[in-house]
Structure formats: C-alpha cells, structure tokens
Amino acid sequence: MATSSPSRVMPWHTALLMALLSSLQCLSLAKLQVGFYSNSCPNAESIVRSVVRAAASSDPTVPAALLRLHYHDCIVQGCDASILIEKTDAKRPEKQAQSHAGLRGLDVIDRAKAQLETACPGVVSCADIVALAARDSVVLSRGPNYKVPTGRRDGRVSNETDAANMPDVNDTIAALRAKFAQKGLSEKDLVVLSGAHTIGTTACFFIEKRLYNFVPGGGSDPTINPRFLPELQSQCPKGGGTNARLPLDRGSEKVFDMQILSNIQSGFGVIESDANLYNNARTKAIIDSYLDSMNSIVGPSFESDFVRSIVKMGKIGVLTGTEGEIRQVCSAFN
C-alpha cells in the first residue's frame, strides 16, 4: 500500500495551531462591534434615529418606553428581541408576563424594521434596532450620546415563563443584587441602570402596596419623605385607578439627568426598589458618590457610568454569527 511522503504531512502541532487560529477567527467574527452595518446597511442607524425622533415628536413618552423596552428584553434571557414576539406555537410569549405589564414602543421598533427591510432586506436584526432605539431615546432626552456595538441576531424562543425571575419593584436590595449578578451586572450597574428612571412614568398599581399596605405593619412606607407622601396619595388614592400614571423622577421626568438620584437621597423615590437603594449601605454609598459636592472635580460621572452599564447590559446573552436569525418582521419568528 502506498504511503504519503512525510514532507507532505502537516505536523500535528501545526495542524492544532491552525485549528485554534480558525476557531479564534470565528469567535472574533461573532463579537459585537461598533459600526457592524457600515458596509451591509450604512444608513441603518440613521434610519432608526429618524423613526425614533418622529415618534417622540408626536408622543413625548416614547423615549422612556423604548429605554424600558431595551432593559426588559436584555434582562430576561439576553438581548435577542424575544420581548417583541406576539405569539408562539406552544406557549404564551414573553411579552405577556406580568413583569412586562405596560411595555410600549413596540410599534416604533416595527416601523423602523419596515424601513430597514426596504433599504437592506434581511440585514438588520430587531435586537439591534431595540438597542439603537434606546440610545437614541437617551439622546433625545438630553442624555449622553454613545456608540452602540451591533451585530446581535434575533432569538427563536419567547416564553412567558422565562420572565418569572425579572427584577421586581418590591424586591429587596439583596434580591436585586442577586438577580443582576446572575446577568453579570454589578452593584454599580444596579444603581446607574435604576437611574434610567430619570425619564418616564409608572402606574399607581406598582406603588399601591407601598402607600397603603406596606409590610411589615401595614400603612405607608416610613422611608417616604413626609412631604412627599400626601402628594403620592393624592395622585394614587386608595382604591382609585391603579392604571393612573405618575412621574418616576419628580420634577424632571422628561430630562435624562441625576435628579432621580437626588430624589432617592431625599426620600422622594417613587417606586420601592428605587427607594431601597438608599436603605442599603453599599448602594447608598454609590448614590452619595455622584451627589457629593466635590463630584464635578474628582468624583465619578453618572453619565459615563450609565453609558458603560447600558453597553454592558446590551451584551447580555447576545446571539451572533450564525446563531438565531434575522427576522423579517419583529413580532414573529421567520
């Protein structure tokens, strides 16, 4: 039997090295990157931006809704646009979970997707549109502009049960820290991402317990500033309309700024999870670090830290490369 010439046989260590290099190349191609669509769909980000701007001009509550949508998508099973699915074959979709109650802005994502499908069919994922729309919403609210790494692909799973462990407004700080840690997010991430409540509103449903049946002992939450309690109760009367809405950031609900942290520090936090940030020594110290009088000179920057945290959050559980799919319509699997 003929044998191969030794000179033509690739040494095992060379073959191994080439295999490793090939694997690393595949991994590098699968990573998110800023400007991912610069060649395949160069107008992708400007299209999303124009759709968000148009929506916000007719409804000023849109930016807060889109920012919340990005968080709710990422924090469940990763930033894969699973939150957008309307129906599935076997189970109720993720968006029907109680923890997602009141989510809005999905129609804005649909409009952006329709325009992108006309310009660049089958190229831009719904997951990336959600992330880009959140950034544009922050900017429209006079918050920081930042670069969004893109290249996400859309997931093929959307189950209501996956949202069962969502962070909740009634969670303790220990519970919130544990849930954030499961997603690779730190205590500082918890504080600054909670700071996204600087824009938007909440329904009275989410604070009714805090106002009238706080545990332990019943009554109202004693950490609410006595000057603030009557104001909250007048907007959310006991037994009144639980769907009535009030600003999360008293006095500054349309501007992305640090007022939310100052409100939390002063006992003017609206929802329990925000208020609890100042009842824990470690998260309290983080809030105080941003509000210290010397902050502008030597302290941390809330805006810079927010950008780092939201970009970090936007990488949770992403699908890249050949994983998942690029949906034709964001509300349905292909």
Question: Tell me: the pLDDT tens digits for 93-135?
Answer: 999 998 888 899 999 999 999 999 999 999 999 999 999 999 9
Take residue 214 and report the two structure tokens written for it: 């706080």
pLDDT at 243: 82
Q: Domains plus CATH for the chain? A: 34-163 (1.10.520.10), 173-313 (1.10.420.10)
Distance of CA 42 to the CA centre of its chain: 25
pLDDT at 239: 83
Helix then strand then coil, % of the chain, to nearest 5: 50, 5, 45
- Amino acid identity of 179? K
State the helix-helix crossing angle for 62-77 and 126-140, rounded to 10 degrees.
Answer: 140
107 annotated as a binding-site residue: no
Between CA 138 and CA 296 the distance in angstroms is 21
Please write the tens of the pLDDT for every residue from 149-191.
999 999 999 999 999 889 999 999 999 999 999 999 999 999 9
Give the mean pLDDT of the chain: 90
- Amino acid identity of 32? L
Does the structure show a pLDDT above 80 at 25? no
Does the structure show a pLDDT above 60 at 22? no
Q: What percent of the chain has pLDDT over 70?
A: 89
Distance of CA 108 to the CA centre of its chain: 16
List the beta bridge partners of residue 213: 219
76 annotated as a binding-site residue: yes
82 annotated as a binding-site residue: yes
pTM: 0.88
257 annotated as a binding-site residue: yes
Distance of CA 133 to the CA centre of its chain: 11
When pLDDT is averaged across residues 198-203 and rounded to a whole number, the result is 95
Instruction: Dump the DSSP string for 79-137.
Output: SSSGGG----SSS--GGGSGGGTT---HHHHHHHHHHHHHHSTTTS-HHHHHHHHHHHH
323 annotated as a binding-site residue: no
When pLDDT is averaged across residues 191-216 and rounded to a whole number, the result is 94
Residue among 127, 82, 124 at smallest CA distance from 100: 82
If you compute the radius of gyration of the chain from its CA atoms, what whole number of angstroms results?
Answer: 23
Does the structure show a pLDDT above 60 at 28? no
Q: What percent of the chain has pLDDT over 90?
A: 80
**Quick one: pLDDT band at residue 272, thresholds 50, 70, 90?**
very high
When pLDDT is averaged across residues 271-295 and rounded to a whole number, the result is 92
- Amino acid identity of 128? D
When pLDDT is averaged across residues 32-51 and rounded to a whole number, the result is 98
Catalytic residues: 72
Between CA 167 and CA 281 the distance in angstroms is 20
Does the structure show a pLDDT above 80 at 64? yes
Is the bond preceding 167 in cis, omega lying within 30 degrees of 0? no
Residue among 142, 138, 129 at smallest CA distance from 47: 129
pLDDT at 172: 94
pLDDT at 89: 75
**Quick one: pLDDT band at residue 295, thresholds 50, 70, 90?**
low
pLDDT at 297: 67
State the helix-helix crossing angle for 302-313 and 187-194, rounded to 10 degrees.
Answer: 110
Does the structure show a pLDDT above 90 at 236? yes
Between CA 229 and CA 80 the distance in angstroms is 40
pLDDT at 299: 67
Please write the tens of the pLDDT for every residue from 67-92.
999 999 999 999 999 999 998 776 89
